[in-house]
Structures are given as structure tokens and as C-alpha cells.
Chains A and B, each alone.
Chain A
């Protein structure tokens, strides 16, 4: 039977994988929107939060978790369409700063609307009993079934996106739009419709990740902003508009962050003693992803997987 340390490492690796999958699902939509429409959508985190709240609320009212997830996806996508059609479509040609301003305004509004609708305390989502168990993966290693399901969902979503982008006509248009927007327009494609579709897809992905995250993290006000920051880190590492890059970058960050947090204290203790570790470890482990990104950008200022021309 494997010893405790190995079991701990395996469990942490699964946690890392799960975190990476969550990051990927959140980032995929954001990187698509950024890559195709050159739109910096800071309110993407708020869409994630809405997905979580809607799922938690529906699950609380109906007792049906699966229905809750579906409703969350649909309603968040509708929210995305609403934002795009009323306001954001005017910003595709605008300076990034104006986009930052307008989406920041949306963050403020959406956070307060959520607080008005659901209260400041937040909503939790109780898992159905079927999912709310641990499964023994190895002797001595019980892992939360739900987190396992989460990982599977992440893989399914990646496969779905792969098929969509690589194998369908819409996907071809998306890839073309990412490389050369004007050419696609010139070919007679209704670019407005395409953009709205992509934005809606991004919102749907955000809503899905929120709904799936809700049982673990609970829906709380402002939960989107910290996630948003890490999502941008993933985009920087994976390359703007690059979904495949986002996948690998998300996994990388998932591992560095999770394993870093669990082993940082031990590593510092080994190198510099326990008191230094107690003082430094919490802050340092929080800094790891930022350090990673800063180092990458110093070495390759165009990003790790830079592919986009101009």
C-alpha cells in the first residue's frame, strides 16, 4: 500500500487537475472573446458569479442539481446576449481602455444586483446524495466524487470546444475571425452575428463553470474578480485567442498553485527553517502564479504560445 506522502501527492495532483479544469472552463470563453473580437471583458468574472448564483438558487428551489446547471447555462448566456446587444457591441472597434471602463461598470452593477437579489450572505448548493460521496481510488485514498466529476466535465468541455472550433463551419469562421477579422467580413459573413454568438458562447462557458463551482465554492458576491485575474494569467501564458494554449496553461497553473500551496511550507522549512517558513510560506505560495507569469514575460515578452500575427 502506498505510503502517506505518496497518497497526499496523488490527492494534491487530483486537486490540481480539478483546479486546472475549472480555470480552463472559465478562461476558454474569455480568451475566445478577447481573441476574436479584441474585447477585454472584465465582466466575464461576473458572468461566472451569475452562473453560480442562478444554479444555487434553482437547486435550492427545485432540489434538482442537473436542472439547475442547465438553467444556469441558459440564463447566463441570455445575460451575455443582453450585455452584447445593448452595450458591448459598440465597443469592438474601441480602445481597450474604453472597454475596461465599460466592463468595469458592468462589474459594479452585476455585483450589486446579485446582492439585491440574493443577499450579501451568499448561497450554497447542496449536492444530490448520489454525488456527495467519496470514492476510494486507491487503498487509503478517498477522493471526493464530485471533484472527480468536475474533472470529467472539464475534459468533456475541452473536447466539445475542440470539435466545435476545428471540425465545424462556425469553428472555421471563428478561427478565421481570430486571424483576420476584416477578411472574414469581406467574404460576406455576417460578422455581427458571429460576434454575438461567440460572446454568448463565452457567457455560457462562464455560466457553466460557475454552476459547477457553486457546490464547492458556494455563490458569493464578488467571487468572479479573483478568478478573472487568474484567467488573464492563463491567457497571457496560453496566448490570446488560443484555446489549446489556454488548456495547457490552465493545467500548468493549476499544478503550480495547488502543489505550491501544499509543499511551499515544507520546502521553505527545509531550506531556511521553521520560523522563516511560518512567516513567508503563506505569502509566497500566493505569489507563485504571479512569479511564474512575470518570469515568462521577462523571457518571452510575446507570451509562451504566441501565435497570433500582430
Chain B
């Protein structure tokens, strides 16, 4: 057989493999979850899926009587794969809602498709300032947070504690930069040094920690997502800094990393909009059900994912499953008429959350397990600083 004819057969087979449009029942609400399962950032993606699965289970896989179909895709932490999966979910599977997106670069690559095809895209985690300000968009909603909020809260915590000088460390990528800028925006003392470490390759921080020691700050502010939190905190303790310089952080200590870090985590201070011991009905239900189903504590990835599903549920119930009027869907989304596990929750004009922030500490619980505990509320009804740049209202 001539090579070109065989090639025809192969290509035809490949085409057939891709072209698998899925038939959809008009009644079924379809959700498309895009998150990161592979690579060392996979823990966050898995946690996100746990939150989504739990919420769906508690709703009985139905929203307001309508069946729910959940499609799950892995973006592999690659923007173009995230975009491709998003395209597939929109164009081939015709989902009603896109959710997930743990990383900003994947989200930023994917949201234009959603906008072009008039599909709602809801981030459970990534909160880049581009989408909060200049590029805010009627099709995009963030249920997670805006990057700058939590570090700004830490700045307040530091001021209240009377800290005069800090050293800031974060990985050298957009989110890392956002976190450092966030803390500097509210902290009133002196920043005696900043180290932006190579992302994602650098796992050994001995050089930066030596600089910290030499600069002798009153406190250290740090942001290392679950992929690197383990390394940093372990080395911080090994360098003998844990006893001498208090550690303040955001998104570094959570239910995913604390079990691995172990004892060196105790005493760490942070700020976040949610903690496992937050006192409200929705959170109590959530934590109890999560522990029962997964035999572990939920992290903020799971909490925001859970909130997202509950938000969508409120929309579906309000509109009785009719997703055809996009303006009505948008209004229902904006109303955020659901019980969030973080208590106080509403959307700002830029579709980013306005919520409360708490100072949180890592402690040893009564059962001997390490967990997070709220120290006090730091900020109420806190909105991100980019809302003013957004032309929506």
C-alpha cells in the first residue's frame, strides 16, 4: 500500500477519535470542571474535585430537581491545554457552566473562549488582577478570592502586632508578585528585604534563608503554594529561624500541607477568608460531611469549590433549570443567594468576592492533630483594590 493511502487511513482514524460530540438532554445541567491533576500542583486540583464531588453528593446530584452532569478535565498546569479542554467543554460538550482553574495563567488562556462563546466561567481559585480590573468581564465570576486580598489582611495583622520590619519571600511568578505587593500595600513598617525565588524549579532556599538571617527582620512574610510549602517550612525550621523569627504567610499552610509539614508548622500565622473552625451552619455541615466522606480535613481549595457548586445550585433553582436567558443567569449569579461556608459573601461590581478576613494560627488540636484556628477577624466586607478599574457595575 502506498504510504499516502495508509496515511489517509491513519488521519481518518485520528479525526474519528476526536469527533465525539455528546448528545445532551435539555433538562440536564452540565458542569465542566477544569483543574490541575498531574504535576506536583496536583494536590490542589484533587482537593478542588473533592469539594465539587461532596457538594454534588449533598445535593443528591440534582439541582432543583434537574439532573447534573459533571465533566472533568486536567489542564496539566499548561495554559494551552487548559484552553483546549475549555474549548472542548464549550464547543463539543456544551456545558452550561465552566468551573475550576487553580492557576492564573491557565485561567487567562481559557477565559477568552468562554467569552467568545457566551459561556459562564467561574474560578474556584485563581484570582488574577487582570480579571478584577481592566479586563473584568460579564461572563467571568470568581468565587475564590482576589490574589491581593489575603496578603493585605496579613499586613493589617502585622501592624496590629506592632511589627516594625519584615522580610518577604515568594516564588517569582505573577501570583507570587501579587502576594508580596499585597502585603506591602498595607504594612506600615519597613521591608528590609525581598527574595523572589525561581519558580517552579527552586526547591532549596538555603541562600535566601541566609539572607533573611543577615537582614534580621522582626517577622518573615512568605507565600509558597502547596507545591513548595513543604520545602520552605522544613528548611526554615532546619535553619533555626523558626525559634527566632515569627512566620506570617498566605496560602502556604492548609489542610494539604500541614499534615506533611508536621510539627514545624505549629505557631505559623496567616490570614484567610475561611478556616475549618469558622462558626456558621453551612461550614459546620460542610466540614462534617467532608470528614465523613474523605476521612481528612478540607482545605480552602475544597471550600471554595463547594461554594461554587452551591452558588450554581442557587442559580439553577431560581431559574428552574432554564439556562437560556443569559442575562437572567448572570443576575442570579450576581445575587449569590446561597449559604457560603465562609458566612459573609457577596460579589463586587467586578464579580470578585467581598468577604471577611481572619487571622489564623496553626495549632495542635485537642485530638492531637494539627489544624488551623481563628485568632480573630481582621477585615470585614473586604473588597479587592482593582474593583475601581473595572467598568462594570
Q: Are A121 and B37 in contact (CB under 8 A)?
A: no
Closest partner residue, chain B, to A135 (CB atom): B240
Contact across chains for B238 and A283 when beta carbons are under 8 A apart: no
A222 at the interface (CB under 8 A from B): yes
Query: At the interface, is chain A mostly helix, strand, loop or mixed?
Result: helix
A273 at the interface (CB under 8 A from B): no
Write out the residue numbers on chain A whose beta carbons fall within 8 Å of the beta carbon of B238: 127, 132, 144, 146-147, 215-216
**Are B194 and A278 neighbours in the complex by a CB distance under 8 Å?**
yes
Set B197, B198, B230: member contacting A220, Cβ < 8 A: B230
Residues of chain B with a CB closer than 8 A to A18's CB: 206
**Are B46 and A8 in touch, CB under 8 angstroms?**
no
A127 CA to B262 CA in the complex, in Å? 12
Answer whether residue A203 sits at the interface, using C-beta atoms and an 8 A cutoff: no
Q: B8 — which chain A residues lie within 8 A by C-beta? A: none
The answer on a CB contact under 8 Å between B43 and A121 is yes
Give the distance in Å from the alpha carbon of A11 to the alpha carbon of B208 in the complex. Answer: 11
Q: Are A123 and B260 in contact (CB under 8 A)?
A: yes
- Chain A 130-160 near chain B by CB (<8 Å), digits 1 or 0: 0010100000001010110000000000000
Q: Does B213 contact A (CB under 8 A)?
A: yes
Name the residue among A5, A8, A11 with the largest chain B CB count within 10 angstroms.
Answer: A11
Complex partner residue of A144 from B198, B203, B239, B257, CB under 8 angstroms:
B239
* B40 and A216 form a contact (CB under 8 A): no
> B369 in the interface, Cβ–Cβ < 8 Å?
no
Is residue B160 contacting chain A, with contact meaning CB distance below 8 A? no
Task: Tell me the complex Cα distance, A52–B210, Å.
Answer: 25
Inter-chain CA distance A126–B233, complex, in Å, is 12
User: Which listed residue (B203, B210, B230) contacts A15, Cβ 8 A?
Assistant: B210
Which one, B41, B46, B256, B261, contacts A124 given CB within 8 A?
A: B261
Question: Is A121 within 8 A of B257, CB to CB?
Answer: yes
Q: Which B residues are in CB contact (< 8 Å) with A261?
A: 207-208
A250-265 contacts to B, CB under 8 A, are 258, 261-262
Interchain CB contact under 8 A, B240 and A144: yes
On chain A, the residues within 8 Å of B198 by CB distance are 282, 285-286
For residue B227, CB closer than 8 A to chain A, the reply is yes
- Measured between beta carbons, the chain A residues less than 8 angstroms from B261 are 124
The reply to whether A12 and B207 contact each other, CB–CB distance below 8 Å, is yes
> Would you call A217 an interface residue if the criterion is a C-beta within 8 Å of the partner chain's C-beta atoms?
yes
A217 shortest CB reach to chain B, Å: 4
- The residue on B at minimum CB distance from A22 is B204
Q: Which of A89-134 contact B (CB under 8 A)?
A: 112, 115, 119-124, 126-127, 132, 134
Interface centre among A120, A221, A261 (most CB of B within 10 A): A120
Contact A124 B234 (CB under 8 A): yes
Closest chain-A Cβ to B298's Cβ sits at a distance in Å of 14
Interface contact B211-A8, CB-CB below 8 Å: yes
Interface residue count for B (Cβ, 8 Å)?
Answer: 39
Q: Which residue of A lies closest to B211 (CB)?
A: A262
Q: Are A122 and B262 CB-contacts (below 8 A) given A115-B42, A217-B231?
A: no
Q: B15-49 interface mask toward A, CB cutoff 8 Å, 1 = contact, 0 = none?
A: 00000000000000000000001111111011000
Bound: A126/B235 CA distance, A: 11
CA distance A220 to B201 in the complex (A): 11
Q: Does B12 contact A (CB under 8 A)?
A: no
* Min CB–CB distance A90 → chain B (angstroms): 26
Q: Which residues of B contact A186 (CB under 8 A)?
A: none
- Does the CB pair A15–B206 fall under 8 Å? yes
A286 to B172, CA, bound (A): 10
Q: Are B42 and A221 in contact (CB under 8 A)?
A: yes
Q: Is the CB of B207 within 8 A of A120?
A: no
Interface string of A181-202 (1 = CB under 8 A from B): 0000000000000000000000
Cα A278 to Cα B97 with chains together (Å): 40
Q: Are B234 and A215 in contact (CB under 8 A)?
A: yes
Assess whether A216 is in contact with B262, with CB atoms less than 8 Å apart. Answer: no
Q: Which of B41, B206, B230, B256 contacts A218 (CB 8 A)?
A: B230
A122 pairs with B260, CB closer than 8 A? yes
Given A120-B37, A122-B260, A221-B40, do A11 and B194 touch, yes or no (CB 8 Å)? no
Is the beta-carbon distance between B40 and A11 smaller than 8 angstroms?
no
Q: Which residue of A lies closest to B257 (CB)?
A: A121
Cα separation A15 to B213 with both chains bound (whole Å): 14
Tell me the bound Cα distance from A147 to B206 in angstroms. Answer: 10
A15 to B262, CA, bound (A): 25
A13 CB to nearest B CB, Å: 10
Contact A217 B203 (CB under 8 A): yes
Q: Bound state CA distance, A18 and B210, in angstroms?
A: 14
Query: Do B214 and A282 touch across chains, with their CB atoms under 8 A apart?
Result: no
| Chain B, 300-320, CB within 8 A of any chain A CB | none
A11 to B226, CA, bound (A): 28
B196 CB-CB contact with A under 8 Å? yes
CB–CB B207/A258 < 8 A: yes
Given contacts A146-B238, A282-B172, A282-B198, contact A8 B210 (CB under 8 A): yes
Tell me the chain B residues, 222-268 only, with Cβ under 8 Å from chain A. Answer: 226-227, 230-231, 234-235, 238-240, 256-257, 260-263
A226 within 8 A of B: yes
Identify the closest chain A residue to B228 (Cβ): A220
B263 surroundings in chain A (CB, below 8 A):
126
Residues from chain A with a CB closer than 8 A to the CB of B45 are 120
Q: Which 10 A-B residue pairs are closest in the complex by CB-CB distance?
A: A120-B42, A226-B201, A8-B214, A282-B196, A121-B43, A15-B206, A282-B172, A134-B240, A217-B203, A11-B210
Q: What are 12 residue pairs bridging A and B, where the CB atoms are less than 8 Å apart in the complex?
A: A12-B210, A18-B206, A119-B43, A120-B42, A120-B45, A122-B40, A124-B261, A124-B262, A215-B234, A220-B227, A220-B230, A223-B203
Given A12-B207, A134-B240, 6 other A-B contacts at CB below 8 A? A11-B214, A119-B43, A122-B40, A122-B43, A215-B234, A215-B238
